Amino acid sequence: MRKFALPVLLSAMLAATAGATEPPADLVAEARGLAKTYVTELEGALLAAIEEGGAPHAIDVCGAEAPGIATAISTKSGWAVGRTALRVRNPRNAPSPQERAVLMRFLERTAADEDLKKMEYAAVVDTGGRKYLHYMKAIPTGQICLKCHGSDVDPETMRAIRARYPADAATGFELGALRGAFTFVRPLD
């Protein structure tokens, strides 16, 4: 019964958040640009860390520098910026119920052969009487991600992951699979 109830609940939540209010196109475009900035800065930091100290060093980048990049973008832009996934390494990145529903929909869209690199979601949501634009951009598992999130993570990197994240659930991904999503939230009123 529980396996059936969750997809029904998630679909209902998506239908409710998809609402009648169309997301402002200019703000969706702004969120897309911020997503591109986040990806570029994070990839640059990861590549530099791997070059400097190998994959174990990249774990520190995702744990410390990625939130700093998100904070800097948030401060400059006025958007709340973050990352989430269905299988997280850092429990602070666990998805909200709405984000979980969107991620589940991303999986469905991927199964229907939609291009994960172009996959996004934007909706106006009403929370506590305030309206927000909620934008999510899918993160496909790239080659660089496999070093710490793939099925064949080297033992030294696995030790570093377990030391920092004992409850890690973010390995076993294949190239091109849905890794998670970047999230962007901005009040509209």
pTM of the model: 0.86
Closest by CA to 134, choosing from 13, 6, 47, is 13
Dist CA 81 CA 185 (whole Å): 7
* 19 phi, psi to nearest 5 deg: 30, 180
Bridge partners (DSSP) of residue 122 are 135
Q: Residue 79 is encoded by which pair of tokens?
A: 């958007």
Q: How confident is the model at residue 106 (pLDDT cuts 50, 70, 90)?
A: very high
Dist CA 27 CA 179 (whole Å): 25
Q: How confident is the model at residue 1 (pLDDT cuts 50, 70, 90)?
A: very low
